[in-house]
Structure 1
Amino acid sequence: MAKQEPPNIIFIMADDHAAKSISCYGAGINHTPNLDRLANEGMLFNHCYVTNSICTPSRAAVLCGTHNHVNGVMTLDSKINKRLPNVAKQLKSSPQNYQTAMIGKWHLGEGEDHNPTGFDHWSIVPGQGEYWDPEFYGPNGTERVPGYATDIITDKSIDWIEKRDKDRPFFLMCHHKAPHRSWEYDDKHKDLYKDPVRLPDTFTDDYKNRANAAKVAKMRVAEDLTYNDLGIVQPEGPASRLGTKMVDIWWWTDRKLPAPEDVTQLKFRCKQTGEEFTFSTPQELAEFKFQRYMQRYLRTIQSIDDNVGRLLDHLDANGLAENTIVMYTSDQGFFLGEHGWFDKRFMYEESFQMPFVMRFPREIKPKTVCNDIICNVDFAPTFLDFANVQIPSYMQGLSFRALTQEKTPQDWPQVAYHRYWMHRDIIHEAYAHYGVRDQRYKLIYWYNEDFGIEGTRPGGEEKEWELFDCQEDPLELFNCYHEPKYADIVKEMTKKLEDRMYEIGDEPVHTRL
């Protein structure tokens, strides 16, 4: 039998894309035919989880295949050390001689010591990047590219594929800015999703029977969205049509609506359109914000879907589809009004779960579904496994290639570990915590200490445990940690937590069993 060529690998990652806003996941709030195509022609994963639900640490885990206490990227302000080993370096230096590229959002630090390494080509946006006319920089300097970021990142990706060495396999990381806050959509999608989106069942969550962390978090649609989030500061679009921004300073665009000092304000004027809005109750105002938030969010995703389609069409047109693995995910999940929240950070399911779909016609059957637990730290070893490149001993994740062939190993660890290191950052007030989830239960320990991490507030609040029965309580409304009938489950899940922390070398701060 002839030896098969190493597959090309395209890894597409969005920023803050909730699984519920991909139509193949079945929530019914939008339509994403091209992302659905990946699932229909390959596999959909229902239990893919992030090891730290914040952008920068998640990207480090994906790139390195290690947990954040090992790669040193624990918070949003952390920067990766360019000397760390990573999956691109492994592929590039392997006998298979992969050519590698990183295009789009990097968000792991800037400057000589933190720029991408292991990539033959890289063109990345500084920091969060911009939706319109974004700046890119690479080894040869910076450029500002007119147009919409999602289109441009795809253009750059296709251009690199076209210009690559056709005699060698390639590995491309295509990282989109969208649908990150502040959800600036392309004009061509401005008429989409005008029908109201159904409010989540937990939109008016009162946070009873839960840890204090849920109550104090400042991520509420009703209170913490800003004028800029809702697109009522100024017109949005390219400079060629609008000129320079009227306002481009964070302390203005981050102003909340209504202002925190006047949360009863029920009338305001839209600076962008001149419209006047008046509401009879705070709930009516909150629901207005939710609908406007969802419109903007879903419209940015429509551009993501369009551009995934463009990339798939390019593979088809050039005879590359059969031997190319295409994966789509997000750097973590996102709250779409569940528990009244937007944003991420927490180990609660909407934030914890990453969407993940992948297609590889040579190995993965169409329309297959995986219900085994995988984590983002598993991505790098999986890339290497599919490329038939040796997985280095430093990687802490596991290849899930066997899962894609519906051959779950008997010893597959059906446990996901999460640790959020930032403690009560000034904007979101999200407590530090860690925990584990198996196929039914989720255990969280809110330890509320910052360990001297910059940009955080002092700890000292009461330490709290939460246990959720995800089968009986899928909305995670009832902490059953102290219920007598769950006493044995508490012991079992605590042991799973401590075993997992021991395996990966993370240091617990709770009193062990």
Structure 2
Amino acid sequence: MNMKISAGYLKKTWGLLLLFAVGSYAQQPKKPNIVFIFSDDHAYQAISAYGNKFVKTPNIDRIARQGAKFNNALVTNSICGPSRATLLTGKYSHVNGYPLNEQRFNVDQSLFPAVLQQNGYQTAWVGKWHLGNLPKGFDYWRILNGQGQYYNPDIIGPKDTVRMEGYVTNLITSMSLNWLNNRDTSKPFFLVVGEKATHREWLPDLQDLGAYDNITFPLPPTFRDKYTNRVAAQNQDMTIDKTMRLKEDLKVHASYEKGIYGRFTPEQRKVFENYYENKVSKEFDEKNLTGDALVEWKYQRYLRDYLATARSLDRNIGEILDYLDKNGLTENTVVIYASDQGFYMGEHGWFDKRFIYEESLKTPFVMRYPGVVKPGTQVNELMLNIDWAPTMLDLAGIKPGADIQGTSFLPLVKSGGDKKNWRKEAYYHYYEFPVPHHVYPHFGLRTEQYTLVRFYNQTNSWELYDLKKDPHQVNNIYGQKGLEKLTASLKGKLKQLIIQYKDTDALKILEQE
């Protein structure tokens, strides 16, 4: 059949097709940018959004206020490097191969930033990496050397290592914003801002020295814990009393010619030394304290240095948030702030982390996503750091690989999200022993009300805590009469999780009972 089609008809038809195509494209959801700010050892109980009335963290609070605050964000192995490996892989330590610090992380396994990169994202990691290997899956990276240095740190790039003058938190922000300024704006971006703060030895920025010196912090209820009926707690080496060092940790008559202080410029050293010698060390000498009074003085100095270090961290988070606002990026950018794990702020007389107990098990986690996450959202479900990777992929509209062990937590923060099938129990496994803090290896279970833990190798002991009756976890009720049915039920759930997450070493220990 011969048909004549007029030029006007063709023009009209193509116009309609073009209009339909443009309309369809316009309806496609724009992939969000993601900024993941990841600090080190920053305790949730040291953040005002989490209820601390003595500290000021206005910018972390700002994210929480404008988005969601997770009240039970838990880690699966409370230690720095393994937590980063879990972030990158969405897997437990025994699966991703990085259960201990100071190893060489396998960057050739599936890492979610590389998946984002393969799906059109521009990716970057700036700051602390601490995985014994160089990053992979990033278009841009500049990382600290190992733990890094607070002042004038060495910065490793793909081609060289340079020493940058300045305070580490400020430098990380500067490098991050510089990358944002020079990125490919045709692509969505994923940026990790890896902070060194608030890692030991807690060196504040010069402008923050003495920021909390006018506050006397109350002692935690468990500050003088006697560790009754808790073998592992009795034998740790992480107390403010015996483990925290006056010279290295609290800067009392520090050696300014070497080590971390040897990196100072003369100008930096003058300000730093003036504060710690003429104020802190002078006070220490004049008081001449011993016994409990000395331990309490150390506690006050610890908190003042730690929180002053966190002050710069929060201020720099504010700079990043302001940058997003000024550049029209806020509405389509997910901002997350989290720490690699929790930390002890004097609870049980401790600093550091490692244990399954609440202060080190729980990490701060706040998230802002305008138009998706309702401001002021409170999330009480048990969220794990294996969930972070699949959530980042979910945000980008990418289905996670079958090897990822976590689950996207977006249903917990999206309006109308299905929370009914969310986990009711969380699994934990810690390995590192004996150095540096002599914490026995252990695995365990955390539910809404209970914590069940099995210590092994150096001590074969169980602990059980009722978090409603004993929120400070000082009363180990394992083996008490009348709890047999509860204990058996929790052990059954623990075994199910061990099998689910394929922790064969833990299963062997459990089956030897």
State the TM-score, normalizing by the size of structure 1.
Answer: 0.89
Select which of 24, 42, 48 maps to 1:17: 42
Per the TM alignment, residue 27 of structure 1 is displaced from its structure 2 partner at its CA by: 2.5
**Is the contact between residue 8 and residue 325 of structure 1 (CA under 8 Å) also seen in structure 2?**
yes
| TM-superposition CA deviations, 1:84-120 (whole Å, max 9, x none) | 11011110012xx0000010000000xxxx2100000
| TM-superposition CA deviations, 1:321-375 (whole Å, max 9, x none) | 0000000010000000000000011111101101000000020000110000001
User: Does residue 159 in structure 1 map to residue 178 in structure 2?
Assistant: yes
**Is the contact between residue 11 and residue 326 of structure 1 (CA under 8 Å) also seen in structure 2?**
yes
Counterparts of 2:73 and 2:502, CA distance in 1: 22
| TM-superposition CA deviations, 1:127-155 (whole Å, max 9, x none) | 10000001100102111111100010011
Per the TM alignment, residue 400 of structure 1 is displaced from its structure 2 partner at its CA by: 0.4
Per the TM alignment, residue 228 of structure 1 is displaced from its structure 2 partner at its CA by: 1.0
| TM-superposition CA deviations, 1:365-406 (whole Å, max 9, x none) | 001100000011110000000110121111111000110115
Q: Tell me what 1:454 maps to.
A: none
Q: Tell me what 2:122 maps to.
A: 99
Per the TM alignment, residue 438 of structure 1 is displaced from its structure 2 partner at its CA by: 0.8
Q: Tell me what 1:33 maps to.
A: 58
Q: Tell me what 2:267 maps to.
A: 241
- Identify if the C-alpha distance between structure 1 residues 198 and 4 changes in structure 2 by more than 3 Å, giving closer, same or farther: same
Per the TM alignment, residue 270 of structure 1 is displaced from its structure 2 partner at its CA by: 9.0
User: Does residue 89 in structure 1 map to residue 114 in structure 2?
Assistant: yes
**How does 1:63-462 map onto structure 2 within 5 Å?**
63-94=88-119, 97-109=120-132, 114-194=133-213, 195-210=215-230, 212-226=231-245, 227-232=247-252, 233-234=254-255, 238-242=264-268, 276-279=285-288, 281-405=290-414, 407-425=417-435, 427-447=436-456, 449=457, 461-462=458-459
Counterparts of 1:506 and 1:286, CA distance in 2: 40
| TM-superposition CA deviations, 1:140-174 (whole Å, max 9, x none) | 21111111000100111111111101110000011
User: The residue matched to 1:123 in structure 2 has which SS?
Assistant: strand
Per the TM alignment, residue 510 of structure 1 is displaced from its structure 2 partner at its CA by: 2.3
Q: Tell me what 1:255 maps to.
A: none
Q: Tell me what 1:498 maps to.
A: 495
Per the TM alignment, residue 209 of structure 1 is displaced from its structure 2 partner at its CA by: 2.6
User: The residue matched to 1:223 in structure 2 has which SS?
Assistant: coil
Counterparts of 1:208 and 1:274, CA distance in 2: 35
State the TM-score, normalizing by the size of structure 2.
Answer: 0.89
Per the TM alignment, residue 243 of structure 1 is displaced from its structure 2 partner at its CA by: 6.2
Q: Tell me what 2:15 maps to.
A: none
Q: Partner amino acid for 2:392? A: F
Per the TM alignment, residue 486 of structure 1 is displaced from its structure 2 partner at its CA by: 1.9
- Identify if the C-alpha distance between structure 1 residues 422 and 241 changes in structure 2 by more than 3 Å, giving closer, same or farther: same
Counterparts of 2:189 and 2:367, CA distance in 1: 17
User: The residue matched to 1:510 in structure 2 has which SS?
Assistant: helix
Counterparts of 2:188 and 2:446, CA distance in 1: 37
| TM-superposition CA deviations, 1:33-56 (whole Å, max 9, x none) | 000000000000000011101101
Q: Tell me what 2:22 maps to.
A: none
How many residues are treated as equivalent by the alignment?
473
User: The residue matched to 2:35 in structure 1 has which SS?
Assistant: strand
Per the TM alignment, residue 485 of structure 1 is displaced from its structure 2 partner at its CA by: 2.4
Counterparts of 2:447 and 2:128, CA distance in 1: 31
**Is the contact between residue 206 and residue 268 of structure 2 (CA under 8 Å) also seen in structure 1?**
no
**Is the contact between residue 424 and residue 432 of structure 1 (CA under 8 Å) also seen in structure 2?**
no
Counterparts of 2:264 and 2:406, CA distance in 1: 41
**Is the contact between residue 234 and residue 272 of structure 1 (CA under 8 Å) also seen in structure 2?**
no
Per the TM alignment, residue 281 of structure 1 is displaced from its structure 2 partner at its CA by: 4.1
Q: Tell me what 2:23 maps to.
A: none
- Identify if the C-alpha distance between structure 1 residues 408 and 288 changes in structure 2 by more than 3 Å, giving closer, same or farther: farther
**Is the contact between residue 147 and residue 238 of structure 1 (CA under 8 Å) also seen in structure 2?**
no
**Is the contact between residue 57 and residue 68 of structure 1 (CA under 8 Å) also seen in structure 2?**
yes
Runs of 4+, deviation exceeding 2 Å: 234-238, 268-275, 277-281, 406-409, 510-513
Counterparts of 2:59 and 2:179, CA distance in 1: 21
Percent pairwise identity: 40
Per the TM alignment, residue 306 of structure 1 is displaced from its structure 2 partner at its CA by: 0.1
User: Does residue 51 in structure 1 map to residue 76 in structure 2?
Assistant: yes
**Is the contact between residue 440 and residue 459 of structure 2 (CA under 8 Å) also seen in structure 1?**
no
**Is the contact between residue 384 and residue 390 of structure 1 (CA under 8 Å) also seen in structure 2?**
yes
| TM-superposition CA deviations, 1:46-79 (whole Å, max 9, x none) | 0001110110111000011111111110101222
Comparing 121-130 and 486-495, the one that deviates more? 486-495
**Is the contact between residue 269 and residue 276 of structure 1 (CA under 8 Å) also seen in structure 2?**
no
- Identify if the C-alpha distance between structure 1 residues 216 and 238 changes in structure 2 by more than 3 Å, giving closer, same or farther: same
Comparing 480-489 and 429-438, the one that deviates more? 480-489
Q: Report the aligned-residue RMSD.
A: 2.1
Counterparts of 1:101 and 1:281, CA distance in 2: 49
User: The residue matched to 1:53 in structure 2 has which SS?
Assistant: coil
User: The residue matched to 2:177 in structure 1 has which SS?
Assistant: helix
Per the TM alignment, residue 3 of structure 1 is displaced from its structure 2 partner at its CA by: 1.7
Counterparts of 1:381 and 1:277, CA distance in 2: 55
Counterparts of 1:430 and 1:277, CA distance in 2: 36
Comparing 334-343 and 488-497, the one that deviates more? 488-497
Per the TM alignment, residue 272 of structure 1 is displaced from its structure 2 partner at its CA by: 5.9
Counterparts of 1:153 and 1:123, CA distance in 2: 9
Counterparts of 2:463 and 2:399, CA distance in 1: 39
| TM-superposition CA deviations, 1:262-303 (whole Å, max 9, x none) | xxxxxx999965961444540000000000000000001000
**Is the contact between residue 269 and residue 277 of structure 1 (CA under 8 Å) also seen in structure 2?**
no
Counterparts of 1:383 and 1:338, CA distance in 2: 33
Per the TM alignment, residue 462 of structure 1 is displaced from its structure 2 partner at its CA by: 3.4
Counterparts of 2:399 and 2:118, CA distance in 1: 11
Counterparts of 1:279 and 1:491, CA distance in 2: 53
Q: In terms of Rg, which structure is larger? A: 2
Q: Tell me what 2:10 maps to.
A: none
Per the TM alignment, residue 29 of structure 1 is displaced from its structure 2 partner at its CA by: 2.9
User: The residue matched to 2:71 in structure 1 has which SS?
Assistant: strand
Counterparts of 2:466 and 2:280, CA distance in 1: 46
**Is the contact between residue 133 and residue 148 of structure 1 (CA under 8 Å) also seen in structure 2?**
yes
Counterparts of 2:284 and 2:381, CA distance in 1: 49
